[in-house]
Structure 1
Amino acid sequence: MSDRTELVQRYLAAWNATVPAERDALIAETFTENAGYTDPMGSVRGHAALAATIAAVQEQFAGLEFTLGGPVDAHHELVRFTWHLGRPGGAPLVVGFDVAEVAEDGRIAAVHGFLDQVPAA
């Protein structure tokens, strides 16, 4: 299970990376070239689209960081985990969970994201 937990930690690190070159390197290390990402806010495919999505989320939620919200659960090529988005050391403002499909090379091929708690409009 530790390899799946490490994969999820790299995934969250990509979402937290604010330096574009660092973010791009983490995306390349963590996602297959044609990886898909879908959540209630949209759907994208490929490294460039993932980088743009992450940058947009960082702009919207400046100063917040993603953290793992509990244990990583995995079977076969699937990994699910809860994540929190909030100020470091504070209560999460957003809580969600993702299900990731892991490719044979150990990178993420697709992510299906769900939002469990979001701030009021």
Structure 2
Amino acid sequence: MSSGVAPPRAERHAPQDAVVRVNRLLRTFSVQTSAEVGSRLRELCVDQVLYADPLARAEGVAAMATHVDFLRRVQSGRRMVLSSGVDVVHEYARFAWRLTDPRGRVQFDGFCVTRFAPSALFAEVIAFIGPFPPLQMRVTVPT
């Protein structure tokens, strides 16, 4: 007897090497040259990648490369390093990172939410800087 319930459809998943890809993305923020920024992002992202952080929104690899290169120059010698595991749900991933100075001292923390395209390249990278904001209200559930 059929229950009339359809089987779940196959969901897209992040690539098996998501952690490797995330580390390569973070290292892109501290490479030596502008050309290296563009080259790495072309390897890691779809052409129409969406990148957003509190300072900018960039659509496309060229726009993202321009912004990441700006950040790279401003950060001068600092590095973005993975500071958590990479949590993957279907084609989405989230992870924490921190910006460290040349001596390894933490400058600030942040986290990203990303979406992978079916090609396993980054389709979206959304970066948040700093800790989560404080809870503004308390939700209580009646028992």
Q: Same fold (TM over 0.5)?
A: yes
Equivalent positions of 1:1-121 (< 5 A) are 3-117=17-131
The count of aligned residue pairs is: 117
> What displacement does 1:2 show?
5.1
The percent of aligned pairs where both chains have the same amino acid is 28
Q: Is the 8 A contact 2:27 2:79 kept in 1?
A: no
2: distance between equivalents of 1:58 and 1:22?
Answer: 11
| 1:116, distance to aligned residue in structure 2 (A) | 1.6
Residues 88, 2 of structure 1: CA spacing in aligned structure 2 closer, same or farther, 3 A cutoff?
farther
Cα distance between partner residues in 1 of 2:116 and 2:53: 17
Q: TM-score by structure 2 length?
A: 0.76
Q: Could you state the TM-score of these two structures normalised by the residue count of structure 1?
A: 0.89
Kept in 2: contact 1:18–1:55 (CA 8 A): no
Instruction: State the one-letter code of the partner of 2:89.
Output: H
* 4+ aligned runs moved over 3 Å, structure 1: none
RMSD: 1.5
1:91 positional shift:
2.3
Q: Identify unmatched segments of 5+ residues in structure 1.
A: none
Question: How far apart are the structure 1 equivalents of 2:96 and 2:103?
Answer: 17
Change (3 A) 1:85 1:107: same
Write 1 or 2 for the structure with the bigger share of strand: 1
